[in-house]
Structure 1
Amino acid sequence: MAHIHADAPFVPLNIAVLTVSDTRGFDRDGSGDLLCAHLIAAGHWLGERRIVPDDIYRIRAVVSEWIARDGIHAVLVNGGTGFTPRDTTPETLAPLFDKAIDGFGELFRQISHGDIGASTIQSRAIGGVANHTLVFALPGSPKACATAWDGILASQLDARTRPCNFVAMVRPDATPCVSRQPATTPVAAERVEEKPA
C-alpha cells in the first residue's frame, strides 16, 4: 500500500490544465477550476490553463506545445473521454505517448465503480508519458476529476509517496523510487586468509 514517506522532501511540479469542451468557457469550467485548485493546494504550480473545442488537431496542438516546452512536468486534460462522436481525447493523445500508463485508466475505472457502478466502463480515461512529460486524460465532470486527483494523481505526483511515484521521471532532481534505481552488482568479498600463529 502506498504511503507518504515523512523524510522525503516534497518536489513541486509545473502542471498545465486543458479543458476539452465545445460549450464551456472559463466562467463555467468546474472541472478545470477543481483541478487547478487541487494541484495548487497540494503545493504544485499551475503552468498554464486553456480550453479548446472537441477537435483532434486543436487538442493535439496544445498538448504537443506543452510537452515540447521545458519546464512543464505534467498535463491534465479533462473532457472528451466518453463514447459520443465528439469524444476523441484518447485517440488524440495516444499517438503522442512514448509509453502508455495503462494502470491509470484501469485504476480510475476501478475506483469509479464504487460511485457509478458498471457505467465506469464508459470512461476511456488514459495516461502516458510523452517527451518526459506526464499526460493524463480525465472525464469532464468535476466529480470524476476529483476521483482521479484524490484517488491517484495526488499521491503519484508527490515525490514523498512510497514505494513509487512518477516525480523522478519528470524532475531529475527528485529522489528516484527504489524500484527504478540502477541495480548494483554485488562485489564478492575478498577472502582473507589468516596466517598461522
Structure 2
Amino acid sequence: MEFQPHPNTEEVSVSCAVITVSDTRSPDTDKSGQLIKELLLADHHTVEFYQIIKDEPGEIQAQMTALSQDTRINAVIFNGGTGIAPRDTTYDALEKLLEKTLPGFGELFRFLSYQEIGSRAMASRAVAGVYQNKIIFSLPGSSNAVRLGMEKLILPELVHLVKQIS
C-alpha cells in the first residue's frame, strides 16, 4: 500500500543547509552531501549553506548554533556520524540540542533500512527534531542511506514539517 504525504496545494520552496560530518571527505569526494543538494534542488528547494565539518561534538554543536541564527534557513540536513563507532558523534551532539524530537523519523528510517540491508539497520542512529524553529535531520553518511531517507521520508514531508513549526 502506497501512502501519500500531506498534499501541498501550492509549491513551496524550503531553504536548507546541508552539513556533511566526516573526518575524511572533501567537496570532491562528498557524494552523500552532493546527493542531498541535488535531490533538494530537483524538488524545488534551495541550498543556502553547505559545509563539511569534522566529527567532533563541539564543531557539530557550534555549526548547529550558528545555523540557528541564519534567518534564511528553515531546515538543516546532516549526514554522517550516526553509527556506533567511537568517532560517530553526530547523534550525541545533536540530541543534546534538539528541543523536540521526531522519534518516528528514526524508527521509519531504520524500518526502511532493514528492508534493504537487514538487521545491520539497528546500528543507525538517524534522528530528526526541532531546534530554534528549524527542522533538523541527521542521516547516515552512505549514499544509499541518504537516498532512502531523502526520497522516502524527508522530501515528502519537508514542506509540511516546516509549516508546522513556523
* TM-score, structure 1 normalization: 0.80
Q: Which has the larger radius of gyration?
A: 1
* Structure 2 portions without partners, runs of 5+: none
**1:166 pairs with 153, 158, 161, which one?**
161
Q: What letter is aligned with 1:167?
A: V
Aligned mates of 2:131, 2:34 — CA distance in 1: 24
Q: Could you say which residue in structure 2 is the equivalent of 1:90?
A: 91
| Aligned-residue CA RMSD (Å) | 1.2
Contact 2:22 2:53 in 1 (8 A): yes
Contact 1:132 1:169 in 2 (8 A): no
Q: Could you say which residue in structure 1 is the equivalent of 2:130?
A: 129
Q: Could you say which residue in structure 1 is the equivalent of 2:7?
A: 5
In terms of fraction of residues, the more helix-rich structure is 2
Aligned mates of 1:68, 1:88 — CA distance in 2: 23
Q: Could you say which residue in structure 2 is the equivalent of 1:113?
A: 114
Deviation at 1:4, TM superposition (A): 5.8
* Structure 1 portions without partners, runs of 5+: 159-164, 173-197
Q: Could you say which residue in structure 2 is the equivalent of 1:149?
A: 150
Deviation at 1:68, TM superposition (A): 2.1
- Count of matched residue pairs: 164
The runs of at least 4 consecutive aligned structure 1 residues that moved more than 6 Å come to none
Aligned mates of 2:87, 2:46 — CA distance in 1: 31
Aligned mates of 1:70, 1:83 — CA distance in 2: 33
Contact 2:5 2:157 in 1 (8 A): no
* TM-score, structure 2 normalization: 0.95
**Cα separation, partners in 2 of 1:3 and 1:18, compared to 1, 3 Å:** closer
| Most deviating of 68-77 and 26-35 | 68-77
